[in-house]
Amino acid sequence: MFMHKHYIPVLRWRAAEKTALQKMGSKQKNLITPFIEVFMPQATVTKTPETRLEEQNSNFAGQLSEVWGKEAFFLDTHLLPQEYQTATTEYLLRSCVNSQLKVIPVLNFDSTEKLRQLAVNTTTNPSDEVCLRIFLKDLQNEDINQKIHDFLNSLNLLPTQIHFMVDLKYLDADEVPVYELINNLDIVTTCKTFFVAGGSFPKDLSEGFILGENHVIRKEWNLWQTLIAKLTKRKPSYSDYTTQHPIFYEPRTVSNFSASIRYTLEKDWLVMRGQGVLTPNSAGYRGFLANAQLISGSEVFKGPDFSYGDQFLQEKGSDLNSKPGNASNWVCVGISHHLAQVAHQVSNLP
């Protein structure tokens, strides 16, 4: 399906991520396969989380087709409360199949028997392809090869039907010594695709960030380059959590978030941190415009044609009297630029 010069971004199913996907150019889209994570929506004044989940489910296939088209994508529902996973997964898989979308269901070792059967049922997954997602604790298990073997046998699957993901989640150390563990995995030589995911962006900007310019090392990028240099069995494709923290937390209902912009560079993130939008005597949401002006006027700016996010940055940065937009708009800006930046980096490796 794809080799190691391919990008698999992990994207939560939110407005910012949807727009970032939709605005990608066709050439850029050919370089990535999105990994979609569905999670429980929050309650609103008039709707319960359950009602919003039903609406999200009913709109999923149509929205996915609109923002991504008919190309393959991974679908993971493990962030949902367990009591909603089975029904939601079945509904989403069937609606995707009915819409002729190329959905690849994702399982892990904790997936229930019902979820496993949905993933291999020809009515909910006619492609017979499944993604197995393992985590660091699995990788460190001495019996990991046997666990994978038993998992495949229980579903009557061959390694060639498996997309294999090693998800390291949050990389808080400068160097994660995992290449020997990965190199000992038997499945990597025969699985359909193989990719390693991780993320190092902090949970938020509340600690260790000053007002103005900050830089955060992209540890997952450094790790991946180490892996493709050292792994002897097979080079993995690249996967990350874009500009987001890899551990999912429920968003706060009321939050004095800062008017900050995250801009991905080759080896790190540039974070232009503003004041809290609700802080007294601050610029409020207009702080986004000032930071957009600083980034779009700097030597690291890629130009408005690089991505939708870059175009948005230049438009807002060149007119400080324009409407500043909302938090979701600026999350989208960071993710849109990140998708384009990483797709370019991965595809242009020697």
**Domain final residue pick, 230, 251, 272:** 251
Domain shared by 20 and 45, yes or no:
yes
pLDDT, position 327: 94
- Within-domain flag for 137: yes
**Domain final residue pick, 199, 234, 251:** 251
Instruction: Please state, in angstroms and rounded to a whole number, the distance separating the CA atoms of residues 185 and 64.
Output: 33
Q: What is the pLDDT of residues 24-38, one digit of tens each?
A: 999 999 999 999 999
Helix (H) or strand (E) holding 180: helix 179-183
pLDDT, position 54: 98
Instruction: Please state, in angstroms and rounded to a whole number, the distance separating the CA atoms of residues 295 and 309.
Output: 12
pLDDT, position 206: 86
Dig out the tokens for 62 from the structure. 């149509």
Domain shared by 39 and 89, yes or no:
yes
Domain shared by 107 and 205, yes or no:
yes
pLDDT, position 175: 63
Instruction: Please state, in angstroms and rounded to a whole number, the distance separating the CA atoms of residues 236 and 215.
Output: 27
Exposure class string for 215-251: b at 16+ Cβ within 10 A, else e: ebebbbbbbbeebbeebeebbbbbbbbbbbebeeeee
- Within-domain flag for 38: yes
Helix (H, G, I), strand (E, B) or coil at 19: helix
Contact 246, 199 (CB under 8 A): yes
pLDDT, position 174: 61
Domain shared by 332 and 246, yes or no:
no
Q: Is 300 exposed, middle or buried (0-12, 13-18, 19+ CB in 10 A)?
A: exposed
pLDDT, position 324: 95
What type of residue is 311? Q
Q: Residue ranges of the chain with pLDDT lower than 70?
A: 174-176, 253-254
Domain shared by 269 and 163, yes or no:
no
Instruction: Please state, in angstroms and rounded to a whole number, the distance separating the CA atoms of residues 50 and 42.
Output: 9
C-alpha distances in angstroms, 135 versus 103, 166, 168, 286? 22, 6, 6, 40
- Within-domain flag for 346: no
pLDDT, position 22: 98
- Within-domain flag for 291: yes
pLDDT, position 105: 98
- Cα dihedral 310, 323, 204, 336, rounded to 10, equals -20
**Domain final residue pick, 210, 226, 251:** 251
pLDDT, position 176: 65
Contact 243, 264 (CB under 8 A): yes
Domain of 333 in residue numbering reads as 254-340
Domain shared by 113 and 148, yes or no:
yes
- Within-domain flag for 260: yes
Domain shared by 220 and 320, yes or no:
no
Write down the pTM of the prediction: 0.96
Q: What's the total number of domains in the chain? A: 2
Q: 303: alpha, beta or left, given left = phi > 0 and alpha = psi -120 to 50? A: left
pLDDT, position 207: 87
Domain shared by 200 and 271, yes or no:
no
Helix (H, G, I), strand (E, B) or coil at 176: coil
Helix (H) or strand (E) holding 212: strand 212-217
Alpha-helical runs (H) found in the chain: 15-22, 26-29, 49-68, 82-98, 113-120, 136-139, 144-154, 179-183, 219-230, 287-296, 308-317, 327-347
Domain shared by 238 and 305, yes or no:
no
- Within-domain flag for 305: yes
- Which is it for strands 7-12 and 237-240: parallel, antiparallel or unpaired? parallel
Domain shared by 187 and 280, yes or no:
no
CA dihedral for 192, 122, 110, 153, sign (positive or negative): negative
pLDDT, position 121: 93
pLDDT, position 181: 95
Q: What is the pLDDT of residues 216-246, one digit of tens each?
A: 999 999 999 999 999 999 999 999 999 999 9
Domain shared by 173 and 282, yes or no:
no
Q: Which residues, in sequence order, are CB contacts of 150 under 8 Å at separation 6+?
A: none
Helix (H, G, I), strand (E, B) or coil at 92: helix
Residues paired with 105 in a beta bridge: 75
Domain shared by 66 and 80, yes or no:
yes
- Within-domain flag for 77: yes
What CATH number does the domain containing 126 carry? 3.20.20
- Within-domain flag for 27: yes
